[in-house]
Amino acid sequence: MKNTIAKSFLLLCCCLSFYCSLNAQEHPLTFNEKGQFKIVQFTDVHFKLGNPASDVAIERIQEVLDKEKPELVIFTGDVIYSSPADESMQFILNLVSSRKIPFAVTFGNHDDEQGFSRQQLYDLIRTIPYNLLPEQKKPGVFDYALEIYSQQNKELSSILYCMDSNSYSSVEGVDGYAWFEFDQIDWYRKQSMKYTEKNKGVPLPGLAFFHIPLPEYQEAITSLTTPLKGTRLEYICSPQLNSGMFTAMRQCGDVMGTFVGHDHDNDFAVMWHDILLAYGRFTGGNTEYNNLPNGARVIQLVEGQREFTTWIRLADDEIIDKATYPDSFVKKPFTPN
């Protein structure tokens, strides 16, 4: 019965995608009337179309969207985990698109292992209503910036960098996961400098979203001076080589926090040199390992301020680990009684 409903829903959404050519970029992202902008991060859905083990992932996505009503949804990789890749990707993204919520996607190391290349997936996603993926200037490049505008004067207020953290190491003798290439770091620097110049030399408040955690995630948790909020139940699976993306972000001064996935049993956030390094909450079902109940991370920006509030939303209206950047992550000096 559930499979029949799923197929019917998919067919309906495919029809909507065909007949509705709405591109959400035609409707710029803006802060709401309260001066807030809410983002829901779903990560590691690991969706298998028609597999009952993925039912809880569908349920959680729908429940989070019902409760949070975000201005934007960002999927940070490993969205799909079986073929057919096109139908699987369409099904998950249409859970958001059917609600007329703008969304963005960054790729994980498993998305292009299901019969579709990254380029084919990118082209497919761009056909789904309410996607925010821009037309590529160069094929094979999957990094882009999203702009958020002020509600009052319609001026540019915040930047979201959505980037491809790649998949596996291609260097002989270096095992494990890939890292940001130098041309990606150069792209980020140029984007950041462009926005800073437009803002009269002041960096705009920014966030970055990608799949694989930076090596600095591991560095941060080894320090005794970095307040950590959330759960850490597994080793951080970062690249073995550090190409310098974190350094670039720190020097440019716009990125307040980075949000990743990849490690299913981590959902913590930790401050490192004034940048919050955070995980999303594993959103998938029992198609992959996980020891935490699935859910999502929520980030709420404040218009015109270098601050945001973030929390994890779980099933049955449960919210945990609510914190504010930067105040919740600043180590307060000891004051004896």
Q: What pLDDT, in 10s, does the model give residues 53-107?
A: 999 999 999 999 999 999 999 999 999 999 999 999 999 999 999 999 999 999 9
Instruction: Read off the amino acid at residue 219.
Output: E
pLDDT at 22: 40
CATH topology of domain 24-329: Purple Acid Phosphatase; chain A, domain 2 (3.60.21)
Tokens describing residue 245: 């993306």
What is the rounded average pLDDT of the residues 258-283?
98
pLDDT at 5 over 90: no
What is the Cα–Cα distance from 144 to 87, expressed in whole angstroms?
A: 24
What is the Cα–Cα distance from 235 to 108, expressed in whole angstroms?
A: 18
pLDDT at 157 over 80: yes
pLDDT at 25: 47
What is the rounded average pLDDT of the residues 278-290?
97
Instruction: Read off the amino acid at residue 27.
Output: H
Tell how far CA 58 is from the center of its chain.
Answer: 18
- Give, in order, the Cα–Cα distances in Å from 167 to each of 93, 178, 257, 266: 21, 5, 22, 19
What is the Cα–Cα distance from 324 to 190, expressed in whole angstroms?
A: 29
3 state SS of 269: strand
What is the Cα–Cα distance from 45 to 58, expressed in whole angstroms?
A: 9
pTM, entire model: 0.92
What is the Cα–Cα distance from 203 to 193, expressed in whole angstroms?
A: 8
Percent of the chain with pLDDT over 70: 91
Q: Which residues pair with 194 in a beta bridge?
A: none
The pLDDT-based confidence of 7 (bands split at 50, 70, 90) is very low
Backbone angles phi, psi at 324, to 5 degrees: -120, 135
What is the rounded average pLDDT of the residues 126-139?
95
CA angle, residues 198, 37, 161, in degrees to nearest 5: 50
Backbone angles phi, psi at 80, to 5 degrees: -120, 155
pLDDT at 12 over 60: no
The pLDDT-based confidence of 28 (bands split at 50, 70, 90) is confident
What is the rounded average pLDDT of the residues 175-204?
97
Tokens describing residue 144: 């882009």
Domain boundary assignment for the chain: 24-329
The pLDDT-based confidence of 27 (bands split at 50, 70, 90) is low
Burial of residue 2, with CB atoms counted within 10 A of its CB: 0-12 exposed, 13-18 middle, 19 or more buried? exposed
What count of other Cβ atoms lies within 10 Å of the Cβ of residue 221?
16
pLDDT at 123: 98
- The stretches of 111-151 forming alpha helices (DSSP H) are 118-125
82 or 152: which leads in pLDDT: 82
In terms of DSSP bridges, do strands 29-30 and 144-149 run parallel, antiparallel, or are they unpaired? parallel
What is the rounded average pLDDT of the residues 318-335?
89
What is the Cα–Cα distance from 64 to 160, expressed in whole angstroms?
A: 21
Backbone angles phi, psi at 319, to 5 degrees: -120, 130
Tell how far CA 337 is from the center of its chain.
Answer: 43
Cis peptide before 239 (omega within 30 of 0): no
- State the chain's mean pLDDT as an integer: 92
Gap between the terminal Cα atoms of the chain? 64
Lowest mean pLDDT among 80-89, 166-175, 242-251, 324-333: 324-333
pLDDT at 19 over 80: no
pLDDT at 132: 97
What is the rounded average pLDDT of the residues 285-304?
96
CA angle, residues 260, 265, 269, in degrees to nearest 5: 50
What is the rounded average pLDDT of the residues 196-217?
98
What is the Cα–Cα distance from 144 to 163, expressed in whole angstroms?
A: 6
Percent of the chain with pLDDT over 90: 86
The pLDDT-based confidence of 156 (bands split at 50, 70, 90) is very high
Lowest mean pLDDT among 11-15, 59-63, 103-107, 120-124: 11-15
What is the rounded average pLDDT of the residues 99-117?
97
pLDDT at 8 over 90: no
Do the Cβ atoms of 104 and 42 come closer than 8 Å?
A: no
pLDDT at 114 over 80: yes
Tokens describing residue 122: 């990118």
pLDDT at 334: 63
pLDDT at 153: 80
- Give, in order, the Cα–Cα distances in Å from 325 to each of 34, 97, 187, 333: 19, 30, 26, 18
What is the rounded average pLDDT of the residues 33-62?
97
